A and B are shown apart, each in its own frame.
Chain A
Amino acid sequence: MSDTSLPFRPATEETPLTRRLLIGVAVLGLALLVFAPLAAVFTEALADGWAAALASLGNHDARSAIQLTLIITAIAVPMNAAFGIAAAWFITKFDFRGKAFLITLIDLPFSVSPVVAGLCIVLMFGANSLVGGWLVAHGFPIVFALPGIVLATMFVTFPFVARELIPVMIEQGRAEEEAALTLGAGGWRVFWTVTLPNIRWALLYGVLLCNARAMGEFGAVAVVSGKIRGQTATMPITIEMLYNEYLSVAAFSMAALLTALALLTLLLKTALERRHADALAASHRH
């Protein structure tokens, strides 16, 4: 052993002071930016006690908002999961012209402001447009109705699943699929028995992110929904309306519920990861 009185530390290790400082900054940042607002939402919601908070969630408009948000999520997330898988599959398993352009296109919803996306839908499908006018005349309005809100939500949350899948599928390459083909499996069988199991964790992650964003989407939905109370007002829209009307307990109760839904998704993810730790380790991912 060398002289232990000399301060020895590996090149990649910081001094104790630097370490404490860095940890301190991280904890402080997390506390200020994440925990404090979270705590504030729940305290404000419970300012007049549990009874008042629950009562504010029990009225017709609030229940309609919760129901609407859940319906939108239940439609938009599976659709985007399917589209995301299809897009990622197409991009990673085939070579074609314009691939880079398609990848850029998938990212478009991240770079376009949701409000602009909402306006585009209004312009495309509004009652004054060609398509929208025809649809309204035939009793199927898009804007200021459920289809428009679902479209807006799907547009904004489209990249999540594809973005998660593309790098994983590129890294895994095509060899396993090709092997399955040479062993006699057809296209669907290859997909269900080889492709899907290999991407399931990335898919789950993408779906959870997509779900969280779909429930919380405000901008695009605000434009296309028309904010009709009890009809097209989603949870985030309702929160804003209640807040503007100084109904702080009701606004924060709804906000707390939305937060709880998001936390639940995260919890679900953690639980799944823990339960399948072996499979995760075996597939060299995360």
Chain B
Amino acid sequence: MHIDIDEISKQFGATAALHPVSLAIPSGALVALLGPSGSGKTTLLRILGGLEFPSSGRVLFDGQDATHLSVQDRRAGFVFQSYALFRHMTVFDNIAYGLTARPRATRPEKAEIARRVTRLLDLIQLPHIGARFPSQLSGGQRQRVALARALAIEPRMLLLDEPFGALDAKVRKELRQGLRDIHDTTGLTTVFVTHDQEEAMELADLVVVMSMGRIEQIGRPQDIRARPASDFVRDFITV
């Protein structure tokens, strides 16, 4: 699904988190929103997911206006910064949540839900952890469970907020490849937020550099490296 962000702005009280920004994300792309804290990247991601609503502008999914589509109807698989796994549920129930939450008419049978959860556990290469609770998992395992939970709803896009932020360097490298693989297998349009330029450059097809609520540059990693559009971008990518 391709996503068009058309002159989106967001005000929080008197402060502008996003000045009108526009961005076209092609179907199936893996996009990084890169910027320091306060650059508006997370706000933009949350607007895509329907967790915030823009003060002005439009969001289009496959050309259809989705600006006022409710968070439930967006079918955006969202991975939160600290994963936000349901702490009182097992891993199995966490992943199954989006399926059991469906209205009766579209809810799969119990056996079908179990089958899908098992398949997702295989996909994230953690087939034997269904009975565990989130508190019994390592950081990297939690991240992958959160990813599986987001994928369970058969999302139209995948949105990740600092997906590697809470992990140590070694696990981070492994999971980067894991996300790349899952993106390539599912073919989902994927947007992730990061403040780590190396991560953005290595993983994404398209990097969107943001600062102070504005988009500084949009481009392929090598193009941004070769021709930074502003002093800010040059400073930010040459750490």
Contacts and interface: CB of A to CB of B under 8 A. Distances in A.
B98 A183 contact: yes
Interface in A228-286: 279, 281-284
A183 B135 CA distance: 21
B49 interface: yes
28 contacts: A176-B86, A176-B87, A178-B84, A179-B80, A179-B85, A179-B86, A180-B86, A180-B97, A181-B51, A181-B72, A182-B50, A182-B51, A182-B71, A182-B72, A182-B74, A182-B77, A182-B150, A183-B150, A183-B152, A183-B153, A184-B72, A184-B98, A185-B101, A186-B72, A198-B88, A279-B88, A282-B87, A282-B136
A180 B101 contact: yes
Nearest to A189: B101
B101 A183 contact: yes
B41 interface: no
B149 A183 contact: yes
B102 A178 contact: no
Interface string B141-183: 0000000011011000000000000000000000000000000
A71 interface: no
A183 B97 contact: yes
B51 A198 contact: no
A283 B133 CA distance: 9
Contacts of A179: 78, 80, 84-86, 149
Top 9 A-B residue pairs of the complex, sorted by shortest distance between their CB atoms: A183-B98, A175-B84, A182-B78, A185-B101, A179-B84, A197-B88, A181-B71, A282-B133, A184-B72
Nearest to B12: A95
Interface string B171-214: 00000000000000000000000000000000000000000000
A39 interface: no
Contact of A282 (B74, B76, B102, B135): B135
A150 to B, nearest CB: 34
Interface of B: 49-51, 71-72, 74-78, 80-82, 84-88, 97-98, 101-102, 133, 135-136, 149-150, 152-153
Interface residues of A, number: 21
Contacts, number: 74
A241 to B, nearest CB: 48
A284 to B, nearest CB: 7
B82 A194 contact: no
- Report which residue of A182, A184, A189, A283 has the largest number of chain B beta carbons within 10 angstroms of its beta carbon: A182
A283 B85 CA distance: 12
B51 to A, nearest CB: 6
A184 B91 CA distance: 18
Given A184-B72, A282-B135, A176 B84 contact: yes
Interface of A: 175-176, 178-186, 189, 193-194, 197-198, 279, 281-284
B88 A282 contact: yes
A175 B87 CA distance: 12
- Report which residue of A179, A194, A279 has the largest number of chain B beta carbons within 10 angstroms of its beta carbon: A179
Nearest to B159: A182
Contact of B102 (A180, A184, A281, A283): A184
- Report which residue of B74, B81, B86, B153 has the largest number of chain A beta carbons within 10 angstroms of its beta carbon: B86
B84 A184 contact: no
A175 B161 CA distance: 12
- Report which residue of B76, B78, B87 has the largest number of chain A beta carbons within 10 angstroms of its beta carbon: B87
Nearest to A196: B88
B114 to A, nearest CB: 17
A99 B139 CA distance: 35
A179 B97 CA distance: 10
Contacts of B78: 178-179, 182
Given A181-B51, A182-B72, 16 more contacts: A176-B84, A176-B85, A178-B51, A178-B84, A181-B72, A182-B51, A182-B71, A182-B78, A183-B101, A184-B75, A184-B153, A185-B101, A186-B101, A198-B87, A281-B135, A283-B135
Contacts of A193: 86, 97, 101
A205 to B, nearest CB: 16
Contacts of B72: 181-182, 184-186
Contacts of A197: 86, 88
Given A175-B84, A282-B88, A284-B135, A182 B49 contact: yes
Nearest to A186: B72
Contacts of B135: 281-284
B97 A185 contact: yes
A194 B86 contact: yes
A276 to B, nearest CB: 11
A4 B114 CA distance: 61
B76 A182 contact: yes
B49 to A, nearest CB: 6
Contacts of A185: 72, 97-98, 101
